[in-house]
Chain A
Amino acid sequence: MAEWTMSGALGRALWDALAGDERVLVFGEDVGVSGGVFRVTAGLQEEFGERRVFDTPISEAGIAGAAVGLCFAGWRPVIEMQFDAFSYPSLEQVIDHVAKMRMRTRGRVDMPITIRIAAFGGIKGKEHHGESPETYYVHTAGLKVVVPSSPLDAYRLLRHAIADPDPVVVLEPKARYWGKESGDLSAEGAGIGRGRVLRTGEDVTIVSYGAMVTRVLEAAAVLAGDGISVRVVDLRSLAPLDEDLLQRCAEETGRIVVVHEAPRTLGMGAEVAARVMELAFDSLEAPVARVTGWDAPYPPASLEDGYLPSVERIVAAARETVAY
């Protein structure tokens, strides 16, 4: 069985999408000749040529805007934002046009744009290289937002994103680019809008996504030693949320903990807590707990460990929730 890094699996997804649909284009900063700062696009230009895989000037708004125009001309653009915080110049294009253009044209022009963003922290990066921008995108109607947590699922989600007729933001957790997983790559299986249960359990459900999923699994193992049975849910899809799965977990375990790197206020934890209350309030046996980054800017590398949810914080929150 082949072993894949997430970077390699994402690159393979791009390769297969380019090979499978001649209208797919891949472009962004350093994605062509160099193959991307995280090597995701390595080898693509050599294989598919400069017409279909190309470097752009450093112009995030221009990249996103050009993707809109390419959709008018019947292309299927996959664009890269090199780092989370560098995607912000493109927000006007994404919010005003990418997300709304299908509605604005009364369905006459689809926006099958995939926006890949190297996102989140945990790599001891420079400032502006560790942000969690998901709320901006999730809050924008018209977009779909996914976050893979493992190589095989990264392949599947990116293939689904590119095939989707609507714009999809793929937030790639930088901290997981080099994590490995063995198996065969396949686009088959759960698509956008579906979460997955990575560990079964009955006492509490811990909901997370991206790089935090690994820590949640570690925490679940620690808690198992205490006799606490933890169900681990990888959301995968932040927009839309898998409401059915959240409802089922709330009903079956009665206790929910949400873990994410993003600041607490208006983070995904707030939305998960609200949905769980709306869908399964009577099943809840404890308040929904949130283990998150702080409502402070992402700190320098030397302070990163105190900012990101640690295994210890996750374990403590789960214990409190179970003991409530």
Chain B
Amino acid sequence: MDAPGHWGGTSPTRVLEPDGSAAGDTDVGLAPDDFRAMLRWMVLARRLDHECIALQRQGELTVYPGFEGQEAAQIGAAFALAEQDFVFPTFRELAMAMVRGVDPVRYLWYHRGTWHGGPYDPRATRFGPISIPIATQIAHAVGYALGQQLDGTDVVTVACFGDGATSEGDFHEAANMAGVWGLPLVLFCQNNGWAISVPTSRQTAGEIWRRAEGYGFPGVRVDGNDVLAVYVAVRDAAARARAGEGPTLIEALTYRIGAHSTADDASRYRTEDEVEQARAFDPITRFEAWMRSEGHVDDAQMLAWSEEADAFALSVREALIAQGPPPAEWAFDWVYADPPEPFLRQRQEALGG
């Protein structure tokens, strides 16, 4: 089976082959319990992703952007970070958010139309607000990383973005600044092949990881569907950043199995064959196969996680549905720290009383 087209060119680094066999040394410094924790999160995340799509179809969520196929990229990256590190996500990082400790119910307030940005506490969870304007969050990560550099902390900042974001000016401005200032930053690109309907080949003529050279720091291309390879790439980039050696650009090759969002009909621009082909490179299947071959999991364990995932999805569903609309004051409450008088008069006009 051929890999997705945008995986062509430079071979990505791998720990596991797509069929789950070892590509080389699988000793990445993790214990069997770590492997099991990774796989469990991948199973839980995918189950929740499917639940969210169902919730949207049932009118309980507004538009929802699924992440199926990108579990290894997100969970491998999350596992490679230290507790104090800070992630600036896009709008498709629910799996990473969960591993970083964000309450999925709170996160999904966003897609329920309850609240914008970060319904969770970005400072406490060290996970920035959900960011929809493409590539803008990369500049925020640069500022945060600069703040850490000025304070002399050992915090690593991670900027998440997709292949499409690399066409934006903000990507260039942010990456360039990160290079000039040698910031403790990991630029983590999940190249999932599609920016809504535009394939990576129509987004950029080059390989994304190679951009790093122009900015004066290293770039790496990793198989983003290999959770262990992603773990290693992000771990090494974070170590470089922590050691004061500056930023790293990681291009994680993955594939967006679902449509861009529940509002998108992907059959307009890509074939079902292409998607089926990509499923052969599925990240969970690959990791599970290796785990089974190593004896780290068995049928009973996989069944137990599957049941746990069902219960987890149900608990998220119930908590979300129980969430009514927020109070009307919320439309005004946090706009200003020091609200001007004319604004307060409008607030009163809107709310009465």
> Would you give the 0/1 interface string for A193-233, flagging 1 where the beta carbon is closer than 8 Å to chain B?
10000000000000000000000000000000000000000
Whether a CB of chain B sits under 8 angstroms from the CB of A59 is yes
Within 8 A of A (CB), among B111-135: 115-119, 121-123, 128-129, 133
Contact B143 A105 (CB under 8 A): no
Nearest first, the 5 closest Cβ-Cβ pairs linking A and B are A65-B139, A69-B143, A104-B117, A73-B147, A62-B173
How far does the alpha carbon of A181 sit from the alpha carbon of B234 in the complex, in Å? 57
- Counting chain A residues whose Cβ lies within 8 A of the other chain, the interface size class is 35 or more
**Distance A193 CA – B133 CA, assembled complex (angstroms):** 31
The reply on A182 being an interface residue by CB < 8 A is no
Residues 66-113 of A at the B interface (beta carbon under 8 Å) = 66-75, 77, 89, 92-93, 96-97, 100-110, 112
Q: A257 interface residue, CB < 8 Å from B?
A: no
B255 to chain A, nearest CB (A): 29
Q: Which of B305-353 contact A (CB under 8 A)?
A: 330, 333-338, 340-343
* A103 to B341 Cα, complex, angstroms: 18
Report whether A93 and B144 are in contact in the complex, using a CB–CB cutoff of 8 Å.
no
B263 at the interface (CB under 8 A from A): no
Q: Kindly report which residue of chain A lies nearest to residue B123, judged by CB atoms.
A: A108
A92 engages B136 (CB within 8 Å): yes
A66 pairs with B139, CB closer than 8 A: yes
- Interface CB pairs A-B, < 8 A, 10: A57-B176, A68-B139, A69-B143, A69-B145, A69-B147, A72-B128, A97-B133, A106-B334, A193-B341, A240-B343
The distance in angstroms between the C-alpha atoms of A164 and B340, with both chains bound, is 12
A251 interface residue, CB < 8 Å from B?
Answer: no
Residue among A59, A72, A108 making CB contact with B140, cutoff 8 Å = A72
A69 & B139 in contact (Cβ 8 Å cutoff) = yes
Which residues does A use to contact B, with CB under 8 Å?
25, 51, 56-57, 59, 61-62, 64-75, 77, 89, 92-93, 96-97, 100-110, 112, 141-142, 144, 164-166, 192-193, 239-241, 243
Residues of chain B lying within 8 A (CB to CB) of residue A51: 150
Given contacts A61-B139, A70-B147, 9 further A-B contacts (CB under 8 A): A62-B176, A65-B136, A65-B143, A66-B143, A73-B144, A93-B139, A100-B116, A101-B129, A106-B115
Q: How far is the CA of A106 from the CA of B150 in the complex (A)?
A: 27
List residues of B whose CB falls within 8 A of some A CB. 86, 88, 115-119, 121-123, 128-129, 133, 136, 138-148, 150-151, 157, 169-170, 173-174, 176-177, 180, 330, 333-338, 340-343
Known: A92-B136, A107-B337, A165-B337. A74 touches B147 (CB 8 A): yes
Q: Which residues of A contact B129 (CB under 8 A)?
A: 101, 104-105
Contact between chains at B139 and A166 (CB < 8 Å)? no
Chain B residues in 8 Å Cβ range of A144? 340
Q: Which residues of chain A are near B123, meaning CB under 8 Å?
A: 72, 108-109
Question: What residue in chain B is nearest A163 (Cβ atoms)?
Answer: B338
**Known contacts A100-B116, A101-B117, A102-B337; A62 and B140 CB within 8 A of each other:** no
Contacting pair A240 B341 (CB below 8 A): yes
What is the bound-complex CA distance between A296 and B278, given in angstroms? 54
**Among A62, A166, A193, A240, which residue has the most Cβ atoms of chain B within 10 A?**
A62
Q: A66-B142, A72-B123 are in contact. Are A59 and B177 (CB under 8 A)?
A: yes
A72, B139: Cα distance in complex, Å: 12
Q: Which of B119, B147, B333, B335 has the most CB of A within 10 A?
A: B147
B87 to chain A, nearest CB (A): 11
Residues of B within 8 A of A142 (CB): 335-336
For B176, what are the chain A residues with a Cβ–Cβ distance below 8 Å? Answer: 57, 59, 62
Residues of chain A contacted by B333 (CB below 8 angstroms)? 106-107
A73-B145 Cα distance, complex, nearest whole Å: 8
Q: Contact check, A97 vs B147: say whether CB atoms are below 8 A apart.
A: no
In contact, B334 and A243 (Cβ under 8 angstroms):
no
| CB nearest neighbor in A for B346 | A141
CA distance A5 to B284 in the complex (A): 66
Find the A residue at minimum CB distance from B147: A73
Please determine whether B147 and A107 come into contact, CB atoms closer than 8 angstroms.
Answer: no
- Find chain A residues with CB under 8 A from B142 CB: 62, 65-66, 69
Q: Are B143 and A141 in contact (CB under 8 A)?
A: no
In the docked arrangement, what's the CA distance between A110 and B337, Å?
A: 7
CA distance A145 to B327 in the complex (A): 29
Verify A69–B88 contact, CB threshold 8 A.
Answer: yes
Question: How far, in whole Å, are A192 and B151 apart by their CA atoms in the complex?
Answer: 31
Tell me the smallest distance from the CB of B90 to a CB of chain A, in Å. Answer: 14
Cβ of A96: which chain B residues have Cβ within 8 Å of it? 133, 136
Contacts of A93 in B (CB 8 A): 136, 139, 170
Residues of A within 8 A of B121 (CB): 105, 108
Assembly CA distance A85 to B253 (angstroms): 39
Highest count of chain A CB atoms <10 Å: which of B117, B133, B180: B117
Query: In the complex, what residue of chain B is closest to A192 when comparing beta carbons?
Result: B340
Contact check, A104 vs B116: say whether CB atoms are below 8 A apart.
yes
A62 touches B147 (CB 8 A): no
A63 CA / B139 CA spacing, docked (Å) = 8
**Cα(A93)–Cα(B139), bound, Å:** 9
Q: Which of A74, A75, A89, A240 contacts B342 (CB 8 A)?
A: A240
A174 to B: closest C-beta gap in Å = 25
A67 and B140 CA atoms in complex are apart in Å by 7
B133 touches A92 (CB 8 A): yes
Known contacts A61-B169, A72-B123, A100 near B146 by CB under 8 Å: no
Contact present for A62 and B174 (CB under 8 Å): yes
Give the residues in chain A near B174, CB-CB below 8 Å: 62, 65-66
In the complex, which residues of chain A have a beta carbon less than 8 angstroms from the beta carbon of B147? Answer: 69-70, 72-75
Least CB distance from B349 to A in Å reads 11
